[in-house]
Amino acid sequence: MTVIMGILNVTPDSFSDGGLWFDGDAAIRHAEGMVARGADIIDVGGESTRPGAPRVAISEEHRRVLPVVRELVARGITVSVDTMNASTAAAAVEAGAAIVNDVSGGLADPEMDDVVLGTDARFVVMHWRGHSDVMVDNARYTDVVAEVAGEIELRAAQLIVKGVAPERLILDPGLGFAKNGPHNWAVLAHLDRLTALGVPVLVGASRKRFIGELRPGSTRVEERDFASAVVAALAAANGVWGVRVHDVSGTRQALDVAEAWSRGRIEG
């Protein structure tokens, strides 16, 4: 069964829902609602990674993220922390987070590898070529599928050589990060290049710009939820471990259909 990772942005400036869950109590209520609707993991992030987003001071990231992580863990919810900062990752794991979801795959902070080595948390290795202010300039490929798969595999191998157990790693192709629309669709159409590596794969397509480009006239990001759920179902059918989404309810329904379809193929 494909895991659903519900997105909880405790930021004022996320591209999708910035400010909605900035208040701690609102964030907790929203997280509980996502779990009730079918989320298996709540991914808590305190820094926007949209193209062009400014960096956030580490002390501010701690202030935003850690109280929410502690409260969710206390309520029995499995938590992932979305951070590029080693100190935030370490503090969140100490507070009970089970996964460190680093959009840089550990490349943004040279101390992140030591944090991963020093904890039992799982680690998301995302494909990354630079921070938000330069990612658009880095969207240059000769063969996007081969290059993305190769760069993720190299980064995972570096962590394994350092001593991180392979079963603790999760791979993420980094849709929207240093990739334009055609790049994203090519990577999605060839997810088998990643799943063939034998490491769990996480896909985060929810509400991203390339989804919105399918309907140029739409302006509200919520209008991308249906297409995002379709992508999640197709990704599940192609063997991914998990999907990271905003709309948990719609995604849960889409995954239920995909899983029933797969069972029918086996049992038929």
Active site residues: 208, 244
Q: b/e per residue, 120-148, with b = 16+ CB within 10 A? A: ebbbbbbbbbebbeebeeebebeebbebb
Using CA atoms, how far apart are residues 161 and 113, in angstroms rounded to an integer?
11
Cβ–Cβ under 8 Å, residues 184 and 145 = no
